[in-house]
């Protein structure tokens, strides 16, 4: 009986040893590769990681996952016999990725070391960009970095200047002129005759006082190139004009008008398509001087706004009727109305109407 027990434990120990020995073992020649420095124009770079199955049973690579879409792996798909070799190729695409990089590839297998991390690194030297990439906006035969000039905030008594570089990437000179320009905007180009493969500088001067308005405003400046009348050759210009209250004294601020709304939002709920709904906001002057409505602007042509008056006496309340036309609309809708006044502490108020169109 004692001999039988000893034999049983010997066989059991042997079986356990076979279970350990019977696993594949994934051994790479290297687990990292540095491409060094290379040019972006050189295109994708590939490194090959070779490995050996140093176990006693076939090795299977279950998955090979890259940490970035710019890295593409290829690998040995069939089982790798004990003592045999396999490989994983890792390609890195440098397009539009200048600078140093370090990317990882995770290898999962049935080996006793089931997860192995491979790393590729290097530095991409930025290629020289084309004129089309540096100046992506086309304005007729000219190119620019953008076809819009913005004056984000400008006081109603200010004059501001912005510039825009124009590039002639053609083989012929281009003469630049302008059609009718708003009276509060001055535009010039130097030189007016931009040479082939040359540059010109467009200068725009915005006189907010001459604009004589408040809030957001936008225009298009139409260019004539070599005398052409193509309305596609244009530059947008926008500005948000704010009243300048900086000269008001402490006493004037204390006695200033105060814009108070009964609410800043209203929901019509569910309505049928084609319905017209209206709501009247109430604007009260809680200050000590006349409240002036400088401007009222809606975010959509579907919303009509009718203030009953533009001058509100101290303590007086004036209605502002908003009519929403749901024709051609569907689903959830939200529109805004901007009311600009001479309240120095809250000169711009946004009213919101919303609805669900069935």
pLDDT digits (tens, 9 = 90+) for 244-261: 999 999 999 999 999 999
User: What percentage of the chain reaches a pLDDT higher than 70?
Assistant: 94
Question: Residue 243: is its pLDDT beyond 80?
Answer: yes
H/E element, 143: strand 142-144
pLDDT value at position 128? 87
Contact 198, 171 (CB under 8 A): no
Encoded tokens for 156: 């109603």
Q: What confidence tens digit (pLDDT) does each residue in 212-232 have? A: 999 999 999 999 999 988 889
Beta carbons within 10 angstroms of residue 200's beta carbon: 20
pLDDT value at position 22? 83
Contact 120, 71 (CB under 8 A): yes
Contacts of 325 (CB under 8 A, 6+ apart): 276, 302, 303, 304
Q: What confidence tens digit (pLDDT) does each residue in 284-308 have? A: 999 999 999 999 999 999 999 989 9
Question: Residue 102: is its pLDDT beyond 80?
Answer: yes
pLDDT value at position 6? 46
Contacts of 204 (CB under 8 A, 6+ apart): 149, 161, 162, 163, 164, 185, 186, 187, 221, 237
pLDDT value at position 18? 44
Q: Residue 21's pLDDT band (boundaries 50, 70, 90)?
A: low
Could you tell me the pTM of the whole model?
0.71
HSE toward the beta carbon, residue 210, CA cutoff 13 A:
11
Encoded tokens for 213: 């308005």
Q: What confidence tens digit (pLDDT) does each residue in 104-163 have? A: 999 999 999 999 999 999 999 988 889 999 999 999 999 999 999 999 999 999 999 999
Q: Which domains does the chain have, with CATH numbers?
A: 24-125 (2.60.40.10), 131-242 (2.60.40.10), 250-357 (2.60.40.10)
Q: How far apart are CA 281 and CA 297, in angstroms?
A: 14
Question: Residue 12: is its pLDDT beyond 60?
Answer: no
The pLDDT of 65-73, averaged and rounded, is 90
DSSP string, 140-157: TTEEES-SEEEEEEEETT
Q: Residue 4's pLDDT band (boundaries 50, 70, 90)?
A: very low
Q: Give me the residues paired with residue 294 across strands.
A: none
Sign of CA dihedral 227, 228, 231, 233: negative
Q: Residue 19's pLDDT band (boundaries 50, 70, 90)?
A: very low
Question: Residue 318: is its pLDDT beyond 50?
Answer: yes
For the chain, the average pLDDT equals 92
pLDDT value at position 104? 95
Q: How far apart are CA 300 and CA 338, in angstroms?
A: 11
Encoded tokens for 92: 């890195």
Contact 96, 27 (CB under 8 A): no
Contact 96, 72 (CB under 8 A): no
């Amino acid at each position: 009986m004692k001999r039988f027990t000893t034999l049983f434990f010997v066989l059991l120990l042997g079986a356990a040893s076979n279970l350990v020995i019977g696993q594949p073992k994934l051994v790479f020649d290297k687990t990292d590769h540095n491409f060094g420095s290379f040019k972006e124009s050189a295109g994708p770079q590939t490194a090959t990681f070779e490995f050996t199955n140093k176990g006693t049973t076939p090795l299977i690579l279950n998955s090979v996952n890259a940490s970035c879409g710019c890295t593409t792996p290829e690998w040995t798909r069939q089982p790798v016999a004990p003592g045999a070799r396999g490989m994983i190729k890792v390609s890195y695409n440098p397009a539009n990725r200048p600078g140093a990089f370090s990317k990882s590839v995770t290898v999962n297998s049935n080996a006793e070391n089931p997860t192995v991390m491979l790393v590729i690194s290097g530095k991409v030297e930025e290629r020289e960009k084309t004129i089309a990439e540096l100046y992506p906006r086309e304005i007729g035969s000219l190119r620019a970095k953008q076809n819009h000039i913005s004056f984000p905030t400008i006081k109603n008594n200010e004059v501001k200047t912005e510039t825009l570089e124009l590039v002639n990437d053609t083989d012929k000179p281009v003469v630049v002129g302008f059609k009718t320009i708003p009276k509060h905007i001055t535009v010039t180009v130097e030189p007016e005759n931009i040479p082939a493969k040359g540059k010109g500088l467009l200068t725009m001067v915005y006189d907010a006082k001459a604009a004589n308005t408040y809030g957001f405003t936008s225009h298009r400046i139409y260019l004539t190139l070599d005398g052409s009348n193509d309305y596609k050759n244009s530059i947008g210009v926008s500005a948000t004009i704010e009243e300048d209250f900086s000269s008001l004294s402490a006493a004037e601020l204390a006695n200033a008008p105060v814009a108070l709304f009964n609410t800043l939002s209203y929901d019509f709920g569910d309505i049928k398509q084609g319905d017209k709904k209206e709501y009247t906001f109430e604007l009260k002057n809680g200050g000590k001087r006349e409240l002036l409505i400088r401007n009222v602007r809606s975010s959509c042509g579907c919303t009509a706004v009718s203030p009953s008056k533009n001058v509100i006496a101290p303590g007086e309340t004036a209605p502002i009727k908003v009519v929403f036309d749901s024709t051609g609309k569907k689903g959830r809708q939200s529109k805004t109305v901007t009311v600009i006044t001479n309240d120095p502490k809250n000169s711009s108020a946004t009213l919101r109407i919303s609805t669900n169109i069935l």
